Chain A
Amino acid sequence: MFDFFAAAVCLWAAAYHTPPGALVLGAIAKLTDTRTNARPLLAYYSGGVYESQTIDTPAELLDLPQPGLLAAIPQGPAIGRGVFATLKKGTVEQRKLANALATRYSIDLSLLDDPSRGPELCGVMIARAQADLGSEDAAVADFAAQRARSENRALELQVLAQQLPPSERAAVDSASRALTLGTAYALAWPVPSRTRVSSPFGYRDHPTLGRQQLHTGVDLAVAEGTEVHATSGGVVRRASEDGVNGRVVIIDHGRGVSTAYCHNSRLRVVTGQTINAGDVISDSGNTGRSTGPHLHYQLELAHQAMDPFLFKSAHSVDALVLAPKPPPPAIVPAVLPKRPNPKLLDALKVSGLDPTVVDGGLHEPDRQSPPHATEF
């Protein structure tokens, strides 16, 4: 009889926690014409916690008052904004989770929804939970945190989620959305924040194909050789060159957030390198499918390209970029030809304000793009 229980427990675990189990459950559901709560097969691997999400752009957050004191928004308040934005979407599980946390830290439940106080209070709540439990991720799954700590594993949601029973699926989903958004809110800007945008994010008319095409990032008109800063810490997932993106750096910030920096003239990092927020990762340039010196900056949440400006609203000044840094690099003269090309000198003089400069990185070139300043 004890053997039976052992076998039953094994079957339960295999059915809900392995792809073969999902296959079997799916087949049974099909045969009996019922529904199953088995996840998609590929979501059974660690990163699936973040990547099974579709992130809605939290446009309503743009109207929020800025935390004026904070330059680059610190991680805690940023996560608070992420939690707030997810609460707005209002799944019951997320709400329950947030209410439980709020009650524990004596925060007025009714204020959590308040557009002016909510993000800040969510931030306070997460910060306290972090102090208690060791990580922001742990705040959303505090039980699992104790266990993960005893295993000496990172207190990351994707680790914690493995320790939770299937019934907690919805809570994990909303927590992952909050953490993804929060991580995106904590991003700084790769170049001085007043840099002109020569081509914004979004659909634009393609001059030759005559159809709309998505521009998956923003083109920032910077002179060749401008230092490009990592907008947050992470691991370099790619530092390579190809004919489309030119010399490109892609950084994985974790929690389903990654940023790409295309058309650089020189890369200063290598694949696999761990970097901190604000580190210089490259010198901008005009490599790849590009019509002039600029930086194509791209933000992806759960592999979905997003307008970086939606997450820039949190920053009032370019603190990260203007933080104490070595004087302007000697790289600009170095890339000039022996007899300076007058056109290039012009471009340098106006310091990247030429609105016709756009790129072909991750999209087709578009010379008719109007000058566009999307600065907030």
Chain B
Amino acid sequence: MATPSAPALTRISSFFGYFRWLFMPLGLMALIAVGVHAAADTVDDRLLWLVQGLDAWMDGHFARVDALQRWVDRIGSRETTLIARALTLVWELLADGVLLLPLLGYREAAPSAFKRETWRTLLQRLNQQPTPMRLIRPIVTGIFALAGAYAIARMVDGALFISLRAGVAPDAIAQPLARAIAFLAFLHVSIALGWRAVLRALQHADSACTPVAAAATAAERLALLSGQKKPTRAKSPWTVGLVGSAIAVPLALAALLDALPLWSFFR
């Protein structure tokens, strides 16, 4: 009875294979977006303290001038909180822009001519010319991928536990089961999507750092094909992408510090 099901499975899997071009870039973007948000969520409290300190300082100065006193009343705790949250939101969206858009250019089935554009060649060039962008972007993307995978696993855990407990299984079974599946989800998401996101970030950084003169390289043509790279770029490979990195690095540090308690799976 196993034989008839095999072709069905193959058909399903080729059906999904057909749509990989669509769901893989979207999945990668979603993973990194979740990671970036996990980090931003830990940053907002710190921003709030900054804004409140600034508000207290400004109140002290504004209140000396009669015409400005109304502002002391107007900017209250609700306003400072809103400002801090809005700043966090803008920061998060900027980081998303920096890290997510390159992922849109993710392609798996590259024409055979580009096949050798792999980890090895990318890492070789990184070794020859370790520009900030080549170094920072993949690392930052990797951190966000892990933080994202962790946050996703936690949600899987929660959703699974609550639905299992709703009459299906006692807590003693539902709890470890949900956690085990969540851990598998974490591993699966980091392995299936995480490394691809890092590879894509490295590809993107590499093509951004490659001077126009070398446009004949495979990476360059790949980037041109995917629309990631504009043909005219005269910037030094050492300064390219610094602004984007400056936006993303503090968030990545926050993710590393606060949003990645991996050991919690084993407690």
Chain A residues within 8 Å of B, Cβ to Cβ = 1-15, 17-21, 41-42, 44-48, 51, 143-144, 146-147, 149-153, 162-165, 167-168, 237-238, 240-245, 250, 258, 271-272, 288-289, 300, 303-304, 362-363
Residue of A nearest to B188 (CB): A6
Identify which of residues 143-160 in chain B touch chain A, using a CB-to-CB cut-off of 8 Å. Answer: 148, 151-152, 154-159
Closest chain-B Cβ to A198's Cβ sits at a distance in Å of: 20
A2-B192, A19-B89, A44-B41 known; A10 vs B27 contact (CB < 8 Å): yes
Please determine whether A13 and B155 come into contact, CB atoms closer than 8 angstroms: yes
Q: Measured between alpha carbons, how far is A152 from B81 in the docked complex, in Å?
A: 26
Please determine whether B34 and A41 come into contact, CB atoms closer than 8 angstroms: no
User: Within 8 Å of chain A (Cβ to Cβ): is B93?
Assistant: yes
User: Within 8 Å of chain A (Cβ to Cβ): is B250?
Assistant: no
Residue of B nearest to A168 (CB): B162
A13-B151, A42-B85, A240-B60 known; A362 vs B73 contact (CB < 8 Å): yes
Residue of B nearest to A23 (CB): B93
How many residues from B make CB contacts under 8 Å with A?
Answer: 71
User: Within 8 Å of chain A (Cβ to Cβ): is B173?
Assistant: no
Closest chain-A Cβ to B157's Cβ sits at a distance in Å of: 7
Closest chain-A Cβ to B136's Cβ sits at a distance in Å of: 22
How many A-B residue pairs lie within 8 Å, measured between CB atoms? Answer: 185
Please determine whether B261 and A151 come into contact, CB atoms closer than 8 angstroms: yes
Contacts of A250 in B (CB 8 A): 77
Residue of B nearest to A152 (CB): B261
**Interface pick from B12-20, B122-130, B214-222:** B12-20
Contacts of A12 in B (CB 8 A): 155
Closest chain-B Cβ to A175's Cβ sits at a distance in Å of: 15
Contacts of B13 in A (CB 8 A): 1
Residue of A nearest to B84 (CB): A45
Q: Measured between alpha carbons, how far is A306 from B30 in the docked complex, in Å?
A: 41
Please determine whether A165 and B159 come into contact, CB atoms closer than 8 angstroms: yes
Identify which of residues 57-96 in chain B touch chain A, using a CB-to-CB cut-off of 8 Å. Answer: 57, 59-60, 62-64, 69, 72-73, 76-78, 81-82, 85-86, 88-89, 92-93, 96
5 A-B contacts, Cβ less than 8 Å apart? A7-B26, A9-B185, A10-B30, A150-B267, A300-B77
Please determine whether B33 and A20 come into contact, CB atoms closer than 8 angstroms: yes
Cβ 8 A contact of B34, one of A1, A13, A143, A147:
A13
Please determine whether A42 and B73 come into contact, CB atoms closer than 8 angstroms: no
User: Within 8 Å of chain A (Cβ to Cβ): is B228?
Assistant: no
Given contacts A165-B159, A241-B60, 4 further A-B contacts (CB under 8 A): A1-B16, A11-B27, A19-B37, A244-B59
A11-B26, A21-B33, A237-B52 known; A147 vs B152 contact (CB < 8 Å): no
Residue of A nearest to B31 (CB): A10
User: Within 8 Å of chain A (Cβ to Cβ): is B202?
Assistant: no
Residue among B48, B49, B57, B159 with the most chain A CB within 10 A? B159
Contacts of B175 in A (CB 8 A): 146
User: Within 8 Å of chain A (Cβ to Cβ): is B56?
Assistant: yes
Cβ 8 A contact of B261, one of A14, A143, A153, A258:
A153
Please determine whether B158 and A144 come into contact, CB atoms closer than 8 angstroms: yes
Please determine whether B158 and A143 come into contact, CB atoms closer than 8 angstroms: yes
Contacts of A15 in B (CB 8 A): 30
Please determine whether A45 and B93 come into contact, CB atoms closer than 8 angstroms: no
Cβ 8 A contact of B151, one of A17, A146, A258:
A17
Please determine whether A242 and B151 come into contact, CB atoms closer than 8 angstroms: no
Closest chain-A Cβ to B185's Cβ sits at a distance in Å of: 6
Residue among B36, B59, B188 with the most chain A CB within 10 A? B59
Q: Measured between alpha carbons, how far is A315 from B47 in the docked complex, in Å?
A: 36
Cβ 8 A contact of A242, one of B62, B88, B185:
B62
Contacts of A48 in B (CB 8 A): 85
Contacts of A165 in B (CB 8 A): 155, 158-159, 162
Residue of B nearest to A237 (CB): B52
Contacts of A14 in B (CB 8 A): 29-31, 33-34
Please determine whether A47 and B81 come into contact, CB atoms closer than 8 angstroms: yes
Closest chain-B Cβ to A213's Cβ sits at a distance in Å of: 10
A18-B34, A44-B37, A258-B77 known; A147 vs B154 contact (CB < 8 Å): yes
A42-B86, A46-B44, A150-B264 known; A242 vs B162 contact (CB < 8 Å): no
Cβ 8 A contact of A17, one of B31, B155, B261, B264:
B155
Contacts of A147 in B (CB 8 A): 154, 157-158, 264
Please determine whether B154 and A163 come into contact, CB atoms closer than 8 angstroms: yes
Please determine whether B27 and A8 come into contact, CB atoms closer than 8 angstroms: yes
Identify which of residues 1-29 in chain B touch chain A, using a CB-to-CB cut-off of 8 Å. Answer: 12-13, 16, 19-20, 23-24, 26-29
Please determine whether A9 and B152 come into contact, CB atoms closer than 8 angstroms: yes
Please determine whether B12 and A1 come into contact, CB atoms closer than 8 angstroms: yes
